Amino acid sequence: MKRKITLSPASFVPGPQGPRALVQSVDYCTRCNACVQSCPSYLLQREEAFSPRGRNQIVRLLLERKIKVSDNPDLIKQTTAACLLCAQCTTACAGALPMPDHMLALRRAINLQTLPKTLRLFLRLHAVWPSGFEMLVRTGYVFRRLGLLWLLRVSGLLNLFGFAWLKHANAILPKRPSTLKKLFKKQKICLSPQEAQVVYLPSFEASYITPQTALQTWRLLQPKKTFVLTEQSTGLFEYLYGDKTLALIQLKNLLTRWEKLSPRKKLPLITDSIELYGFLKHSPVLFATLKGWQKRAQALAEHVQFVSDLRFAKPANVKRCALDSSTVLYPAGEAAVRARKIFKTHFGKNFVECEYSHYAIAAAGLAFVPQTRAEEMVLENVKDVARRQLQEVYCLSGLAALELNAALRRHYPQAQAKHMVFLQDEP
Amino acid sequence: MQLAPHILKQLKHLLGAHNVQTDPVSLALNGYDCSQSRFRPDAVVTVNNPSLLEPLVCLLAREKIPFIARAAATNHAGSCSAVKGGVVINLNPLCQIYTIDTAHGFAEAAPCTVTGDLQQALAPLGFFYAPDPASEKVSTLSGNLAQNASGARCLKYGNTCDNTLSIEFITPQGQTFTFRHDAPGPDWLGLTAGSEGTLGLIKRMRVKILPAPKHVKTFLATFPSLAASVQTVSDLVARGLIPRCVEAMDQITTRAVEEFAHAGYPTDAQALLIIELDGDLKQIKQDAQTLEELCKARGCQTFTAAKTEAEREKLWSGRRAAYSAMAALAPNVAVGDGTVPRSQLPAALAKVRTIIDQNGVTASLLFHAGDGNFHPQIVFDARQPEQTRRVNKTLHEILKACVDCGGTVSGEHGIGVEKRSVMAYQYSRQTLRLFTQIKQAFDPFNLANPGKIIPVGFEDKSSLYQETDPAVCRLAQEIKTRFEQKEKTAVVGTNSQWKTLCAQTLSTKDLNQILDIDKTNYMAVAQAGVRVKDLLNALAQQGVYAQLPPDYPGTLGGLIASKAWPAFTAQLTGVQAIMPSGDIVNYGGKLMKNAAGYNLCRLFAGSVGALGMITKVFFKIYATPQALPKQPAKAQLFFRPDPLFTAVKRTVDPQLLFLSPAFEEGRL
């Protein structure tokens, strides 16, 4: 790697008492190694370089100029790519260090792109032209139903044009994927911002893959008048996939749109994505140098809620279940605690608490890691589900539910993974 | 220093090219632990198969390359940093649990099995592994044994060494031995526990597992003074009530923790105790009543019991958050680890607070009140050299204060490189010489984790020990004269079972005093020539008991040296002995935990007088009669010494002046 590293020591990351400069944050690691057993990628490799402590030390030593990227570019690339950004290490860390943010800073510095170019372009399209993106997705689903995708896969043409990622996408997709707009139209749900009492921000997967999640959330929000923010890019994916500037632009757009909905009284913003919830909660950190925007982001962070804040009725069938609270970047924190309470109340002894070793793996983060490694990690989850003889795994993230469900379908069909909103029985 | 290409080639051939790394990034990442020390090794190798360990060590020994075994690297003393370069052996992939045998109460595992993983595997079977270091969720079984890190439950269940049944051990020359506590000869397992990898590598471990208690109850008691809280613990032990664990905090720490974790601790009390009892419900109820009475008798301000599991969890959350509370304050946390006799705890803590205030540092003070082990946690910023210097000075002063209170510089964190210098303050020149000799016998080329434990240039820095007891002085002088005249000697007790052919014997019959029966610390000190029967009578008169055989006709020294009652070895907390050169060495004291230096109690136990003459021992006593092993006491005198015993004998006594049955009248 000939490129010179530009790891900015002054870039801000979240700290326990507010934003902190990167150089300061990495120094706060006491090297106690409390994080190590929480890292799914370390548990596969068992080498210091692949542990959260090791990764943090890489950033620190690079900033201190004690090592150079050129000393072992492959190792640095591998270990940075192997980080799922799942923030399990942050939860385990005594000082709650934002190690995923350190990794993001390093990724940007070494210009690490683990996502295929075509997938990046696909996601960029979503950011700049959402309705065009939806059209493309719906066309894709029609192609899939006609068997064209299967034909392309079998003929090997997918690999030829850089669409190999579609294979995995196809594997995790449900049988009949649809889009939120289409489903809401079918259900005759009118989306009007007038007199809205609450704003619902659906996740990417609820918008374009499993609209049932959005519909279920919408039902949970009734009888409140709910406005659904469709075709709204949030900046989460751009932030994760590298272009921070674009991420900030999208976040600003979201902020402006939310503020415009009710200029006088700020409306609560509910989301079904734990990743998005964490991202919006911590959005003020991203505007650490822009005070005006930081204040506005602060207001949004105060009003953002996760579906675990809603009321759930006891389900008719109580099965042996567990809760997967995996997310990216920021530990689920209070949202996960509230979710756990709900499960404990409704499931009692059938709710399996996962202490110490757990199977939380951030599905959004899995896209970063090489496919073979990602498969191994998900397989560890499946083993854990089988070991505990679970029948259902509820996820706080729709993406995690999709990933885990696909693996369960293949290896342990006795159990299935669902989003938390499906705890409430569907009418 | 770079490794020669032919060595690298051999390493890659043995372990696979991807398991041998020499790039600066890998070296930098394997050059640190939780301490402040950072040293880059020359190479890092990862071992994926335990059977590769012997050939690897043989290769490194042949090429005279130092090596450092690295497990989770969570120690606070710099025990696994490559001070003298060499090869770091990453053992982390060796993390398999081989067997769990609940019928016979043991589990076998690879060295780097995470202690928490073992606990998790045992829990569904209704069993548990007693040692519980604070880092158990990430630290490994072999790492815990190498530092003898035991955690809070050590008061009731013993330390990690006592809970290890046997180990497969690879010496720095690449020979594999199986060590057991009850094997004839010195207790090598006990000696290697706490040796920080300086004597070799652990390849496989068999540990003791116990049925999990059916019920556990946690109590919180607050006291108007530290002394009252510590005295309460002594009262508990005196009543024969040994809690599962007793954790304590002073007021400053309680306030810091409460602010951070909101665990519901009262912040107006000077001291706080978290006491946990386990067993069956009826027993716990009885014990809880006694506990409350005792606490109130010592003026306890509040006494609350956790009624639900959630309340219990909340009580512990504060204690667990103590490190986090500190870690959030500054980039670095220096964790000290002094241990003093329990009775000295209030005095030692007062001294420590004074030192902390005088040096102007911010620190919390936690302690395991049951075993006198305390952990000052000092926060600082290592980027500021002046602050770092001040913190190091504070830590050194604290450790010296511990030694002044009759304690040790390490209870469970080890010495590593960071506490080497204070070792010269704790131990005399003669004792440090013996430590060096042990290291030399095991590792003549100083390859296994070099530069640890033993202070550099201790001959100048340490002081010579001067004995005051006339009988011991006389014996030491006699041995010294014989050493100078190269006369052979046989050490015998008053009722020796060994009829030696040696003309000159030295008897311990003059060393027949019981020096102390301490009912605060529940420790006794007796000279080696005291008959076991007399000792038991004297203890009974004081209303205390020891784990000694009631019908043993010989002396205490004989019982220990011949390992006639192997269970008693675990009861020893200190020893004094005269070496064949006439030097008097001292180790331990009235301490429940000691991880400073090699455990000499375990060296002399079973040494059948070949390595030195035991003159004084410290051992645990109890308020209630103890369950004794069913086997009768039987001296283990005539056995073929293993190569390690021979090597230690040759180093400690090169002229073979001390005769012993194990060495066939001095012929090696």
pLDDT band at A184 (very low <50, low <70, confident <90, very high): confident
Q: Does B90 touch chain A (CB under 8 A)?
A: yes
Indicate if the pLDDT at residue A331 is higher than 80: no
On whether the CB atoms of residues B215 and B225 are closer than 8 A, the answer is no
| Same domain flag for B18 and B37 | yes
Instruction: State residue A41's pLDDT score.
Output: 87
Residue of B490 and B14 predicted with greater confidence? B14
Report the CATH architecture of A12-109. Answer: Orthogonal Bundle (1.10)
- Look at residues B211, B232, B255 and tell me which one is the last residue of a structural domain: B211
In sequence order, the 6+-apart residues with CB closer than 8 A to the CB of A272 are A202, A203, A206, A213, A214, A217, A306, A307, A398, A419, A421
Residue bearing the bigger pLDDT, B636 or A305: A305
Task: Closest CB to B116: pick one of A57, A72, A356.
Answer: A356
Mutate to test the interface with B, among A48, A70, A353 (most CBs of B within 10 A): A48
Q: Which of A284-288, B121-125, B352-356 has the lowest mean pLDDT?
A: A284-288
Distance CA A216, CA A184 (A): 11
- Identify the CA nearest to B658 among candidates B538, B537, B561: B561
- Residues in chain A whose beta carbon is closer than 8 A to a beta carbon of chain B? 16, 24, 27-34, 36-37, 46-49, 54, 57-58, 61, 66-68, 71-72, 75-76, 94-96, 356-357
Last residue of a domain, one of B256, B288, B320: B320
Instruction: Identify which has the larger pLDDT, A249 or B636.
Output: A249
pLDDT of B19 above 80? yes
DSSP-derived 3-state class of residue A160: helix
- pLDDT grade, residue A120 (50/70/90)? confident
Q: Is-cis flag, bond preceding B243, omega within 30?
A: no
Say whether A58 and B73 touch across the interface (CB within 8 A). no
Average pLDDT over residues B603-613: 92
* Structure-token match 């011949």, residue found: B562
Residues in Cβ contact with B190 at an 8 Å cutoff, skipping those fewer than 6 apart: B161, B181, B569, B570, B599, B601, B602, B605
- Minimum mean pLDDT range among A223-232, B140-149, B573-582: A223-232
Q: Give the separation between CA A296 and CA A360, rounded to whole angstroms.
A: 32
Residue A364 belongs to what H/E stretch?
helix A363-366
**Cα dihedral sign, B128-B131-B137-B139:** negative
Three-class HEC string of B167-188: EEEECCCCCEEEEECCCCCCCH
Q: Is the pLDDT of residue B356 over 50?
A: yes
Is B658 part of any domain?
yes
**Of the candidates B597, B252, B191, B231, the residue with the CA atom closest to the CA atom of residue B403:** B597
For the cut 50, the answer to whether the pLDDT of residue B360 exceeds it is: yes
CB-nearest to A58 from B25, B46, B382 is B25
Q: Name the pLDDT band for B314 (thresholds 50, 70, 90).
A: confident
Mean pLDDT score, B68-72: 95
Any idea which of B189-193, B283-287, B314-318, B438-442 has the lowest mean pLDDT? B314-318
The answer, yes or no, to whether residue B667 has pLDDT greater than 50, is no
Positive/negative CA dihedral, B136, B140, B142, B143: negative
More confident of the two residues B631 and B406:
B406
Comparing CB atoms, the residue among B25, B120, B327 nearest residue A357 is: B120
> Pick the residue with more confidence: B620 or B318?
B620
Q: DSSP letter at A395?
A: E
- Asked whether residue B578 carries a pLDDT value surpassing 80, the answer given is yes
- Neighboring chain A residues of B25 at a CB cutoff of 8 Å: 49, 58, 61, 67, 71-72, 75-76
B142 or B231, which is more confident?
B142
B44 has pLDDT over 90? yes
CATH number at residue B200: 3.30.465.10
Last residue of a domain, one of B211, B229, B259: B211
CATH entry, A312-423, from 2.40.128, 2.60.40, 3.30.70, 3.40.50: 3.40.50
Which residues of B fall within a CB distance of 8 Å from A23?
A: none
Give the pLDDT score at B386.
Answer: 92
Answer yes or no: is pLDDT of A421 > 80. Answer: yes
Mean pLDDT of B281-306: 92
In which band, very low, low, confident or very high, does the pLDDT at A355 lie, cut at 50, 70 and 90?
low
Nearest CA in chain A to B382: A27
Give A-chain residues touching B327 at CB under 8 angstroms: 28, 30, 32, 94-95
Q: How far is B407 from chain A (nearest CA, A)?
A: 26
Domain shared by B531 and B582, yes or no: yes
| Six token digits for residue A162 | 């850089």
How many domains is chain B built from?
4
Poorest-pLDDT segment among A219-228, B210-219, B555-564: A219-228
- Kindly report the nearest CA distance between residue A330 and chain B, in angstroms: 17
Determine, for residues B73 and A66 on separate chains, whether the beta-carbon distance falls below 8 Å: no
The predicted model scores a pTM of: 0.91
Does A356 contact B120 at a Cβ distance shorter than 8 Å? Answer: yes
How do beta strands B332-335 and B373-380 pair? antiparallel
Does the distance separating the beta carbons of A75 and B23 come in below 8 Å?
Answer: yes
Q: Which two tokens stand for residue A34?
A: 């409390």
Distance CA B256, CA B258 (A): 6
SS3 A70: helix
| Interface contact flag, B23 A72, Cβ < 8 Å | yes
Strand-strand pairing, B201-208 and B514-518: unpaired
Write out chain B residues lying below 8 Å of A61, CB-based.
25, 28
pLDDT at A1: 39
In this predicted model, what pLDDT tens digit does every residue of A14-37 receive, in sequence order?
A: 776 778 888 889 988 989 898 998
Closest approach of chain A CAs to the CA of B436, in angstroms? Answer: 30
**Chain B residue with the nearest C-alpha to that of A91:** B324
Q: Is residue B415 one of the residues assigned to a domain?
A: no
- The neighbouring-strand residues paired with B166 are B180, B206
Q: Which residue among A75, A94, A96 sits closest to B26, beta carbon to beta carbon? A: A75
Which domain range does residue B32 map to?
Answer: 5-90
Task: Please return the burial class of A303, using the count of CB atoms within 10 Å of its CB with bins 0-12, 13-18 and 19+.
Answer: middle
Nearest to residue B219, comparing CAs of B323, B318, B311? B311
What residues does B43 pair with on adjacent strands?
Answer: B87
**What pLDDT score does A6 carry?**
64
Q: Do B135 and A33 touch (CB under 8 A)?
A: yes
Q: Choose the weakest-confidence range: A6-15, A59-68, A219-228, B72-81.
A: A6-15
Using 50, 70 and 90 to split pLDDT, how confident is the model at A280? very high
Same-domain check for residues B83 and B104: no
What is the model's pLDDT at position B275?
Answer: 93
Run of H or E including A337? helix A333-347
Closest Cβ opposite residue B34 in set A24, A30, A357: A30
**Integer Cα distance of A196 and A221 in angstroms:** 12
Segment A152-159 shows an average pLDDT of 82
Are B634 and B535 contained in the same domain? yes
Mark whether B511 and B599 lie in a shared domain.
Answer: yes
Strands B271-279 and B245-250, by their bridges, are antiparallel
- Name the DSSP letter for residue B587: E
pLDDT number for residue A215: 92
Assess contact for A79 and A110: CB atoms under 8 A: no
pLDDT tens-digit readout, B412-430: 899 999 999 999 999 999 9
pLDDT of residue A358: 54
CB contact under 8 Å between A27 and B331, yes or no, is yes
Same domain, B203 and B169: yes
| pLDDT classification of B495: cutoffs 50, 70, 90 | low
Shortest CB distance from A46 goes to which of B33, B92, B117? B92
pLDDT of residue A75 exceeding 90, the answer is yes
Q: Rounded distance, CA B73 to CA B138, Å?
A: 9
- For residue B338, give how far its alpha carbon lies from the nearest alpha carbon of chain A (Å): 19
> For the domain that residue B297 is a member of, what is the CATH number?
3.30.70.3450
User: Are B227 and B173 found together in one domain?
Assistant: no
| A58 contact residues in B (CB cutoff 8 A) | 25, 29
Q: At what angle do helices A99-109 and A52-63 cross, to 10 degrees?
A: 50
The pLDDT of residue B135 is 87
Smallest CA–CA distance from B37 into chain A, residue: A31
Q: Which residues contact B217 (CB under 8 A, 6 or more apart)?
A: B276, B277, B278, B284, B288, B305, B306, B312
List of chain B residues whose C-beta atoms are within 8 Å of the C-beta of residue A55: none
* Look-up of token digits 């609450």: A198
Q: How far apart are CA B171 and CA B584, in angstroms?
A: 28
The whole-angstrom separation of Cα A144 and Cα A149 is 5
Task: Reply yes or no on whether the pLDDT at A384 is more than 90.
Answer: no
Partner residue facing B29 (CB), from A27, A49, A96? A49
Residues B605 and B633 placed together within one structural domain of the fold: yes
Tell me whether residues B25 and A49 touch, CB distance under 8 A: yes
Residue B390's CB: how many other CB atoms inside 10 A? 16
Tens of pLDDT along B514-549? 999 998 888 999 999 999 999 999 999 999 999 999
Q: Of B255, B34, B63, B216, whose CA–CA distance to B138 is shortest?
A: B34
Mean pLDDT to the nearest integer, B619-641: 86
Helices (H), B152-250: 154-157, 188-192, 226-238
Within-domain flag for B180:
yes
B115: closest chain A residue by CA = A37
Reported as a pLDDT band with limits 50, 70 and 90, residue A2 is very low
Rounded Cα distance between B396 and B425, Å, is 10
To which H or E segment does residue B108 belong? strand B106-109
Q: Which residue in this structure is represented by tokens 């490794």? A: B3
B221 is a domain residue: yes
Question: Which residue of chain B comes nearest to A38, CA vs CA?
Answer: B138
Q: Are A356 and B74 inside 8 Å of each other by CB?
A: no
* Closest Cα in chain B to A16: B328
- A288 by DSSP, 3-state: which? coil
The whole-number pLDDT of residue B496 equals 61
Supply the pLDDT for residue A3. 44
Q: Where are the domains of chain A?
A: 12-109, 119-308, 312-423
Residues forming a β-bridge with B302:
B222
B200 & B223 share domain: no
Same domain, B177 and B287: no
Instruction: Identify the pLDDT of residue A14.
Output: 78
For the segment B458-481, the average pLDDT, to the nearest whole number, is 90
Beta carbons of A354 and A88 less than 8 angstroms apart: no
Quote the tokens at residue A292.
Answer: 């005006």
Q: Please list the residues that pair with B545 across neighbouring strands.
A: B622
In chain A, % of residues over pLDDT 70: 94
Q: How far apart are CA A30 and CA A39, in angstroms?
A: 17
Give the A:B interface size as CB pairs under 8 Å.
Answer: 92
Listed range (A359-373, B40-54, B238-252) with the worst mean pLDDT: A359-373
Q: Are residues B534 and B603 in the same domain?
A: yes
Question: Which chain A residues touch B46 with a CB distance below 8 Å?
Answer: 46-47
* Residue A330 pLDDT: 80
Distance of CA B573 to the CA centre of its chain: 10
Q: Which of B593, B505, B453, B587 shows the shortest CA–CA distance to B162? A: B593
Burial of B372 (C-beta count, 10 Å sphere; 0-12/13-18/19+): buried
Is it the case that residue A129 has pLDDT exceeding 60?
yes
Sorting pLDDT into bands at 50, 70 and 90, what band is A164? confident
Residue B87 has pLDDT above 90, yes or no: yes
Distances (CA, A) of B79 to B339, B415, B453: 19, 7, 8
Contact A93, A34 (CB under 8 A): yes
The b-or-e profile of B530-566 (16+ CB within 10 A means b, else e) is: bbbbebbeebeeeebbbbbbeebebbbbbbbbbbbbb
* Mean pLDDT, all residues of chain B: 91
Q: What is the DSSP letter of B369?
A: T
Sign of CA dihedral B531, B536, B541, B545: positive
Contact of B95 with chain A, judged by CB distance below 8 Å, is answered with yes
Q: What percent of chain B has pLDDT over 90?
A: 64
Max mean pLDDT among A14-18, A358-362, B97-101 falls in B97-101
Of B249, B293, B289, B240, give the one whose Cα is nearest residue B270. B249
- What mean pLDDT do residues A301-330 have? 88
The predicted-structure confidence for B165-221, as pLDDT tens digits, reads as follows: 999 999 999 999 999 998 999 999 999 999 999 999 999 999 999 999 989 999 999
- A chain contacts of residue B28, beta-carbon cutoff 8 Å: 57, 61, 66-67
